[in-house]
Structure 1
């Protein structure tokens, strides 16, 4: 027998012995490995982090936006002392703009003996063409990244960078794509330390919140004679104090009343003046109702009034309005004496589901801002009325993909001609007290 034949015989004998031994063993079935374990207690999309009892949800929204605005006619130039202008005429302001935006959300929750422990983080990645754009999207120059929210919740405690507890309309509704609007939601995201008490299963709750006062500042306008120092905000002394009482009985049926206190801690002016520390305030209410005869239809409305705390009425939104408006402030220094600025706003929307995949919405807002008479006479500031009306249509092509066209009209009437901002670019109409513009576009939205 050759060496090769001997080697093959040995291999064959070992193979036969192995097969016989295997035949004597019990049959073993492979078990499925569960790489991701679904967590259903907090709703769809959550899964357990391996080796823990913490559930995580990762969600995202991609938006591609194409917008336009009609810049009103007239003669434009920059006005020293206000928002820096870009110079030139209306040829220097964009009428069309493109933007991409991606929002990524992380929501981690753990059930404990003392309630749910939650951490939430949201980040926006934005892209716009280099150079200032029109206000349909805000002024993006190339790419930027913005922290949208970052907070911790435990029981009724909320701490971190979260939505102001004064807000109602913006928290639940405000489904406009391009159009700005007045309202409490313009206070937006801020530093928050809040506690919310739930009154059993009644649907009623009450919140007390301490919030970042620097975020709520809208500035001080000065109209002082020679020899009187200008007045400005000093350092923070007290946080803004927010309180609300709310009721909710479902997805759409909600009511809320809210109040805010904001300190104007001032430097400059007359050092002997008693109004170098003043308090401003705001009060508001919001409500929404489901429309039973329209599946998914609802009507929502909110109103607010402020004295020395303009941001809580959303009057500050007019600095972002394509239609334009004068600047607004929390207070005015007239002859070294500070007066609180007054503002009021009302906003709302009506939504109707025509089909399960097609929803229409109409919306509108109104803001009124008061300036002291002395300031208006001197022509360095102005009270104004601002209006926004519009409509959009959301077509859900397939689950997770929406196409949303929108159009709106915005108009501002100022008491003093010459200080209407145009296009949010720091350009002022020096010949008119009234401005108006049409703005709109389309958004393509992919959510997961």
Structure 2
């Protein structure tokens, strides 16, 4: 009996020791502390700290669909064909575009001020004028516009800022310092300045609403007229401006010097806040490019003056009806009697999704029938 009890006790002890050793062999790793994304509210909504850094990042953009119809858009896109009698006809069809824009904005504070890098990239699917030449009944080759849709990729902005300095690709200082013309979709039918360019700029912003700036620009050959648009001999284009912003509105003036053509363009703008929900603006511009009556082919040689003639004027308004609907309008007129009107109502159907129907009218502009109408409906989802 004693022997049996001894054997059972020994076996139980061995089992207990074996179990203890087996338990000791299992090692459970300690969970690593999780680093949550922190909100960065220094630069506004949407920014967050990149993990492990003091850099604030914002990723945003929009998806947009434009549906456009009418003779204005057909003529503006050269969507035409030539018949057997060599007469040009405008196609009665619609013109469309779908765009995805991606924006990336990274900022951090340094001893020299805010360091910022910004990029906006457009992915487009839109109608293009695939112009070609066809042989008519007389054996002559004449132009035939073909309506087609193509994919495209473009960099709208890509620049670096430190303090008040900026370097990179963006829109011309001549167009942005006095602000884009208005909130209509087809702004600048009478053009008010150039856009895409490489730029080195400095802007001083005072505490009392005063701002001043200067920029050196390369220009862009695609936006040039009569062979102008790009610098040569290493001499950059020069732009400078001053402005004052107060509670009643804003006033500003900007001047651009085309070093290739040795011409200057000057533009001034006045914005007035009528009420908290309504504002108006008037803008005028002048070009030193010579006497148009004596030399009409000289029109547009100044890169900073794409309007026709020596001068141009614009006006417009923005009226916020309620939290969802805003009315925008713009009128343009230049020295060569080109006249344009665009008006829309931007309606935010739900937060982040806006539908904007717009009506456009243009007169002169070397159009076949002197004037043209068009309708543009935009669907845009911002994020």
Q: Secondary structure at the match of 1:39?
A: coil
- Aligned pair in 2 of structure 1 residues 219, 357: CA closer, same or farther (>3 Å)? same
Corresponding residue of 1:316: none
- For residues 227 and 99 of structure 2, the distance between their equivalents in structure 1, rounded to whole angstroms, comes to 34
Larger-gyration structure (1/2) = 2
Please name the residue that 2:358 is paired with.
406
Find the counterpart in structure 2 of residue 297 from structure 1: 278
> Displacement of 1:10 after TM fit?
5.3
Q: Distance in 1 between matches of 2:257 and 2:348?
A: 42
Once the two structures are TM-superposed, the CA of residue 132 in structure 1 deviates from its matched residue by: 4.5
Question: 1:72, 1:435 within 8 Å by CA — same for their partners in 2?
Answer: no
Deviation at 1:141, TM superposition (A): 4.1
Residues paired across the two proteins, number: 337
CA shift digits 1:385-416 (9 cap, x unpaired): 21111210011111110010000110016xxx
Counterparts of 1:154-233 in structure 2, within 5 Å, are 154-168=162-176, 171-178=179-186, 180-184=188-192, 186-199=193-206, 201-215=207-221, 217-219=224-226
Which residue of structure 2 aligns with residue 356 of structure 1?
323
The SS at the match of 2:337 is strand
Q: Structure 1's 282 and 191: CA in aligned 2 closer, same or farther, altered over 3 A?
A: same
Corresponding position: 1:254 with 2:250: yes
Superposition pairs for residues 24-423 of structure 1, below 5 Å? Answer: 33-70=34-71, 87-88=82-83, 89=87, 91=89, 93=91, 95-129=93-127, 132=130, 141-168=149-176, 171-178=179-186, 180-184=188-192, 186-199=193-206, 201-215=207-221, 217-219=224-226, 235-249=232-246, 253-264=249-260, 279-292=262-275, 295-308=276-289, 328-330=299-301, 342-368=309-335, 384-412=336-364, 420=366, 422=367
Please identify runs of 4+ aligned residues in structure 1 that moved more than 6 A: 29-32
* Higher relative contact order structure (alpha carbons within 8 Å, sequence separation ≥ 6): 1
TM-score, normalization by structure 2:
0.76
**SS of 2:179 mapped into structure 1:** helix
For the aligned residue pairs, the C-alpha RMSD in angstroms reads: 3.9
Deviations 1:66-94 (A, max 9, x none): 11122699xx9xxxxxx998644555535
- How far, CA to CA, are the matches of 2:81 and 2:231 in structure 1? 29
Give the 3 Å change call, closer, same or farther, for CA 49–350 of structure 1 in structure 2: same
TM-aligned CA deviation for residue 282 of structure 1: 0.6
**Counterpart for residue 8 of structure 2:** none
Contact 1:102/1:125, CA 8 A, preserved across alignment: yes
Gaps of 5+ in 2: 1-10, 24-29, 132-146, 291-296, 303-307
Summarize deviations over 1:122-161 as a string: whole Å, max 9, x none. 111110246549xxxxx97410011001111111111111
CA gap 1:308/1:173 in 2 versus in 1, 3 angstroms: closer
